[in-house]
Amino acid sequence: MKPIPLLLIVLVLVAPASAQLVVPDISQEAMTLDLDSAATKRLASIEDFVAEKQWDAVATLLRQTQSEKADKLVAIAPGWYVSVARFCQSQATLLPKPGLIAYRRQVDATAKKWFDDIQDQRGLEPSRQRAAWLRIVRQAFASSSADEALARLAEQSFERADYAAARTYWEMLLPASGPLRSAAGLGLLRHPDPNSDAAQIRAQLILCSLFEKDPERVSQEIAAFRRLHGNSAGRIAGRDGILVDLLSSMIADQEAGVSKANEMTSLDRHIWTVELPNGSETGFAEMIPVVAGETLFVSNGESVFAFTASSGQPKWSETAEPARDPQASVIHALADPVAPKRPIDGHARHSLSVYGDRLYARLGTSITGKAKQETNAHSELVGLDVGDGEGKLVWRIDAKEIDPQDPLSVASPWCFEGPPAADSQRVLVVLRRSLPQEQLNVACFDADTARLIWNRKVGITVASTEEAVNSTSHLELTVAEDTAFVSTDAGTIVAIDVHDGAIRWARTYVSDAVNSSRDGRREGHTPPIYHDGVLYVAPLDTDLLMAIHAESGLLLWQHQWPDPIRYVLGVAKNTLIVQGRSLWGVTLTSGKSAWPHRRVGNEDPEGFSAGRGVLIHGDVCWPNRDELVMVASDSGQILRRIAVRESLGLSGGHLTNSGASLTISRGAQLSVFGLHH
């Protein structure tokens, strides 16, 4: 069954008539956030001014508090924090007409100037236009200029094929009335009086679903549109006419072009295998490759290797022997690798990220939580040109040099976590520092020059290991809707604006690591999965599986999962695929099992997961010790079993899908297979 639209879920879950500040129970929080009690008290006084209809005072209070305390956080529900700026914007959208008029007398001139400044700069590059529109939306959402800024953001997102972001910005322009205004008061921002045609906006939302190739959703939306706006005229996809007729024609054209073929994916051959050096550290290390075009890249923490995916031959090397000498495939290596002196608690994980012709790697010791006695902790980020530069180093950032003016930088330097998230302008990465308290930050660097743009403190938490033992972790950002999301695996999930580093919201939960003599985190890698405006998160310090509205931080549902989740694979055929010892399908709207009478795997250790699975053409390839199991994502039905141990003498491992090939990585060994569909 098709998921219920997000807004309907919100209407069911949200009851209060307006946003209410609450006093959080700090003793229950695993991470100390940047809260401000003075701002909370000042904002709580708004209700008194509203009751007395002192609209100028309300407007002044909202504007001044936002200006002075914009980056601080306030609690609006247990476990739900938003920035002071966002809270003020939410309150402004809920003001009655006299209050909104008073508020706009104070903010409209500034917002209009910001908008006009963009218009006056002809030829301004799209990224700078976007940043300017976002400034209006983030700082003056209830102004008379914000609806036009939202429309521009939605149109630009649609043109970039970012249909989920386009949907989010267009939905903010839909009329908000009744219970939906209450939902907006809790943090779901909706413009109070958009100067836009609701029929035109809803038509654009259907167009998003059409381009996302979601026929079931399109069918439901066009039926509702026909009832609401059956005679509305407008312009869609460059054509003028009755909107429902134009949309129906486009739907028919798409249906005519859909292939009815139902082919099955299979592995048709084993191409090559290589054993990489394990680096300077001892113990088991996970090496997760990434495939870009025809090249497979992988790192062992000391070096970055590049292979031609179809043959295993070293990329950009005169060596012709495939995979015989891995060193011939090294495109970059640490100048002076060192081994840690103290033991490391946890498994090292080495992964990479690629954007365009740029590859990014985190190199050095796998330490992210440094013991007091450890002197050999080093981490750095490198950006490599893997286009015309053939792997040439573009820039390098040493974590110790991020903030040389910080008095703690010598005794307690920063460590990089997992690989960065990147776009054409910026590179974002999570930082950790162990002493005197464990602190997490998110930093943003210029993609071309590696200049530090901003460095934002997320929070302070309890160290997860003893002071005499190093620890390792691999936090990775998820970027969507102009926001970077990080699950800290320490009781908190945070959303940060990618342009200025402002924290937009934070969600907290009870962490199993609190008051524990040992690390309460399990093994795995679970960065948030973003799909259709929702984050799906399974933090490693709890057995909770959560769905969170990405734009606001509103918790849609959460469940205590019976099988501790190690990986969240993604969404396929309207089903969330999660993996613990077994494989599970989850219903998007409720969080309950989508395969009520079936799960893949069993209590026999031979049937446990043996690495991270992968989605292939809408279905799941799941590894156990002896087999790769192809599973239908919508039903959980096993489609095929591939006996890799019996036929090839290989065991299961982490899977990477490149479209034309499938890679199994088990420790330092990589095996590549051809995919046939």
Write the CA distances from 651 to 424, 599, 656, 665, integer angstroms.
38, 21, 15, 10
Q: What is the pLDDT of residue 434?
A: 83
Based on C-alpha coordinates, what's the Rg of the chain?
26
Would you state the pLDDT for residue 178?
Answer: 47
> If we measure between CA atoms, which residue out of 574, 570, 568, 576 comes closest to residue 609?
568
Write down the pLDDT at residue 533: 92
Structure tokens at 242: 């009755």
Residues 352 and 438 in one domain: yes
Distances 588 to 56, 163, 385 between C-alpha atoms, Å:
44, 18, 39
Token representation of residue 554: 């509103």
- CA-to-CA separations, 30 to 74, 460, 461, 560, in angstroms, rounded: 17, 9, 6, 18
Residue 421 falls within a domain, yes or no?
yes
- Identify the CA nearest to 185 among candidates 8, 14, 13, 7: 14
Q: Is residue 328 part of a domain?
A: no
CA pseudo-torsion sign 147, 152, 158, 164: negative
Residue 418 has, within 13 A of its CA and on its CB side, a CA count of 23
The rounded distance, in Å, linking the Cα atoms of 47 and 35 is: 21
In a domain, 418, yes or no: yes
User: In terms of C-beta density within 10 A (0-12 exposed, 13-18 middle, 19 or more buried), how is residue 560 classed?
Assistant: exposed
Alpha carbons 198 and 208: distance in angstroms, whole number = 15
Which residues in 477-491 are b (16+ Cβ under 10 Å) and which e? bbbbbbbbbbbbbbb
369 is a domain residue: yes
- Whether residue 457 contacts residue 34, with contact meaning beta carbons closer than 8 Å, is answered with yes
User: ∠ CA(217), CA(222), CA(224), 5° rounding?
Assistant: 100
Which residue's entry shows tokens 């592995």? Answer: 267
Query: What does the pLDDT read at residue 5?
Result: 42
Structural domain ending residue among the three candidates 260, 277, 293? 260
List, in order, residues 6 or more apart from 108 with CB less than 8 Å away.
143, 144, 145
Residue 185 inside a domain? The answer is no
Q: How distant, in Å, are the alpha carbons of 45, 510, 625 from that of 102? A: 18, 42, 67
Which stretch of DSSP H or E encloses residue 540? Answer: none
Task: For residues 356 and 233, state if they share a domain.
Answer: no
Distances in Å between the Cα of 193 and the Cα atoms of 96, 143, 190 are 11, 10, 9
Q: Which residue pairs from 221-225 have beta carbons closer than 8 angstroms and sit at least 24 positions apart in sequence? A: 222/247, 222/248, 222/251, 225/199
Distance CA 545, CA 577 (A): 12
Q: What is the mean pLDDT of the chain?
A: 86
- What is the token pair recorded at 215? 């026929």
pTM: 0.91
Q: Is residue 432 part of a domain?
A: yes
Q: Are residues 391 and 518 in the same domain?
A: yes
Question: In this structure, what CATH number is given to the domain that contains residue 508?
Answer: 2.40.128.630
How far from 559 is each of 562, 565, 581, 591, 596, CA to CA, in Å? 9, 12, 17, 7, 15
Find the distance separating the first CA and the last CA of the chain, reported in whole Å.
Answer: 27
Given this model, what pLDDT does residue 372 score? 78
Q: Is the domain of 221 the same as that of 345?
A: no
What span, in angstroms and rounded, lies between the C-alpha atoms of 133 and 153? 7
Which of 218, 240, 260 finishes a domain? 260
Does residue 394 share a domain with residue 251?
Answer: no
* Domain membership flag for residue 139: no
**Last residue within a domain, chosen from 560, 585, 610:** 560
**CA dist., res. 530 & res. 536, Å (int):** 6
Mean pLDDT for back-to-back runs of 10 residues, the chain (677 residues): 38 41 67 86 87 94 90 89 92 93 97 89 80 94 96 95 94 68 65 92 94 90 93 91 93 70 64 83 78 93 93 80 76 88 83 95 89 82 94 94 75 86 95 87 96 94 71 92 96 95 94 60 90 95 94 92 93 94 93 84 73 92 89 91 79 86 90 80
Please report the pLDDT score of residue 77 as a whole number.
86
Question: Could you tell me the residue range of the domain that residue 364 belongs to?
Answer: 338-560
- Output DSSP code: residue 5: P
Beta bridge partners of 287: 350
Residue 262 has a pLDDT of 46
Phi and psi at residue 669, to the nearest 5°: -100, 130
Give the closest residue to 84 by CA, choosing from 47, 37, 51. Answer: 37
Question: For residue 14, what pLDDT is reported?
Answer: 36
| C-alpha span between 154 and 67 (Å, rounded) | 27
Q: In whole angstroms, what is the distance from residue 169 CA to residue 533 CA?
A: 10
Cis status, amide bond into 527, omega within 30 of 0: no
The whole-number pLDDT of residue 517 equals 43
d(CA 170, CA 173): 5
Instruction: Provide the pLDDT for residue 478.
Output: 97
Q: How far is CA 76 from the centre of its chain?
A: 23
Statement to judge: residues 344 and 227 lie in one domain = no
Calculate the CA dihedral of residues 8, 10, 11, 15 and round it to 10 degrees.
170
In a domain, 384, yes or no: yes
Q: How many CA atoms lie within 13 A of 495 on its CB side?
A: 24
**Strand order of the sheet with strand 638-642?**
614-616, 619-623, 628-631, 638-642
| Alpha carbon distance 207, 664 (integer Å) | 38
Number of domains the chain is built from: 2
324: which 2 tokens?
């015989």
Question: Tell me: the pLDDT tens digits for 95-106?
Answer: 999 999 999 999
Whole-angstrom CA distances from 166 to 161, 223, 400, 546 are: 9, 21, 39, 24
